[in-house]
């Protein structure tokens, strides 16, 4: 009977996958992981989640979008929780609806880890890479996003997270979020963000840097809408790189510093945007090995 339940769970998990996964024996990998995790004790629930995630990343690497379920014992709930881990494929975006109906958009190669059902105390997920969160409001159950370096506490809002190896950037569109760093050993947030503010945490620096930003461009990788006002061509190309997942090189140094004003609101393709900017910038476009060179 237990074997049949496990098989049903595995079939449910595979049903959430949007792209064909790499071939591997899911049941065998699941059983090995389950047996190993049952031997781990005396860890807090948060540290256990991080350790399990690192272990699974080493033992079941994937190249395409894959959802994986693993078990651990939540001491507060005293029950086994099922976790999904979803990675967006390269050159694509993935939309995920969480158990509380909150929505997460994953940028290319981003990885989200979340439970099949949230606990009674909070709604916690873990992110690597870039994601846009539209969190459903629930004042009794805060929403927590954990990156490698910081924690983000939310009650109902929309914000963008870029969680990279050496830097994490949080941009708030609506609502309010609290930012907590590893250096903070209190329950008080290092900083409360207001809409239009962006918090940057870099491992090589101390504390957070908070600045105002154009939120439209921050989420352009989802909306396809760009607003450039007095922006250098170099800055514009950096945003286009992130939105379209392609490397763009500007080989003329003088060209990098030219400033432009332009709005793209009809979800133009990258080729269309580059062609329109080319009228004023007068550069030549060359494509080599999947990368773009402006001369």
| DSSP string across 238-249 | HHHHHHHT--EE
Same domain? For 192 and 278 the reply is no
Confirm if 27 and 6 have CB atoms less than 8 A apart.
yes
Residue 256, both tokens: 């990098």
In a domain, 83, yes or no: no
> What does the alpha-carbon distance between residue 220 and residue 233 come to, in Å, rounded to a whole number?
17
Phi, psi of 137 (to 5 degrees): -70, 130
pLDDT at 140: 87
Tens of pLDDT, residue by residue over 188-203, are: 888 999 999 999 999 8
Tens of pLDDT, residue by residue over 213-242, are: 888 888 999 988 999 988 999 999 999 998
Angle among Cα 149, 155, 156 to the nearest 5 degrees reads: 110
pLDDT at 161: 96
In a domain, 15, yes or no: yes
pLDDT at 193: 94
Same domain? For 98 and 204 the reply is yes
**CA–CA distances in Å: residue 248 to residues 257, 291, 295:** 15, 6, 11
> What does the alpha-carbon distance between residue 184 and residue 167 come to, in Å, rounded to a whole number?
17
In a domain, 82, yes or no: no
> What does the alpha-carbon distance between residue 252 and residue 143 come to, in Å, rounded to a whole number?
46
Confirm if 199 and 179 have CB atoms less than 8 A apart.
yes
Examine the fold and report which residue of 33, 51, 77 is the final residue of a domain before the chain moves on.
77
pLDDT at 57: 38
Same domain? For 4 and 69 the reply is yes
Identify the three-state secondary structure at position 207: coil
In a domain, 112, yes or no: yes
pLDDT at 153: 93
Nearest to 198 by CA among 243, 152, 242, 156: 152
Give 98's DSSP letter. -
pLDDT at 185: 59
Contacts of 187 (CB under 8 A, 6+ apart): none
Residue 209, both tokens: 């840097």
- Which helix (H) or strand (E) is 198 found in, with range? strand 197-202
Q: How many domains does the chain have?
A: 3
Q: What pTM, to 2 d.p., does this model score?
A: 0.68
What CATH number is attached to the domain comprising 130?
2.60.120.1440
Residues in the chain, pLDDT under 70:
1-80, 183-186
Confirm if 177 and 193 have CB atoms less than 8 A apart.
yes
Same domain? For 212 and 255 the reply is no
Confirm if 254 and 294 have CB atoms less than 8 A apart.
no
pLDDT at 188: 83
Same domain? For 106 and 201 the reply is yes
Domain extent at residue 285:
224-294
Confirm if 116 and 81 have CB atoms less than 8 A apart.
yes
pLDDT at 210: 95
Beta bridge partners of 125: 145
Residue 20, both tokens: 């064909």
In a domain, 164, yes or no: yes
The tally of CA atoms less than 13 A away on the side-chain side of residue 272 is 11
Phi, psi of 273 (to 5 degrees): -65, -45
């Amino acid at each position: 009977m237990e074997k049949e339940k496990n098989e049903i769970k595995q079939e449910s998990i595979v049903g959430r996958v949007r792209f064909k996964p790499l071939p591997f024996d899911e049941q065998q990998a699941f059983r090995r992981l389950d047996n190993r995790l049952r031997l781990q004790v005396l860890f807090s629930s948060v540290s256990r989640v991080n350790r399990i995630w690192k272990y699974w990343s080493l033992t079941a690497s994937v190249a395409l979008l894959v959802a994986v379920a693993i078990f651990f014992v939540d001491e507060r709930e005293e029950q086994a929780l099922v976790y999904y881990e979803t990675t967006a494929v390269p050159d694509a975006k993935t939309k995920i609806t969480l158990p509380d109906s909150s929505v997460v958009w994953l940028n290319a190669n981003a990885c989200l880890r979340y439970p099949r059902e949230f606990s009674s105390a909070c709604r916690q997920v873990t992110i690597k890479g870039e994601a846009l969160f539209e969190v459903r409001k629930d004042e009794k159950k805060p929403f927590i996003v954990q990156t490698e370096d910081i924690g983000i506490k939310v009650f109902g809002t929309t914000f963008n997270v870029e969680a990279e190896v050496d830097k994490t950037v949080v941009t708030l569109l609506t609502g309010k979020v609290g930012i907590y760093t590893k250096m903070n050993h209190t329950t008080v947030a290092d900083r409360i963000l207001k809409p239009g503010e962006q918090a940057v945490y870099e491992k090589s620096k101390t504390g957070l840097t908070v600045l105002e930003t154009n939120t439209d461009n921050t989420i352009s990788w989802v909306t396809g809408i760009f607003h450039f006002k007095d922006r250098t061509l170099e800055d514009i190309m950096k945003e286009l790189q992130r939105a379209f997942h392609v490397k763009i090189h500007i080989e003329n140094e003088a060209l990098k510093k030219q400033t432009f004003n332009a709005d793209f609101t009809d979800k133009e393709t990258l080729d269309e945007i580059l062609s329109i900017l080319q009228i004023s910038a007068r550069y030549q476009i060359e494509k080599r090995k999947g990368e773009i060179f402006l001369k």
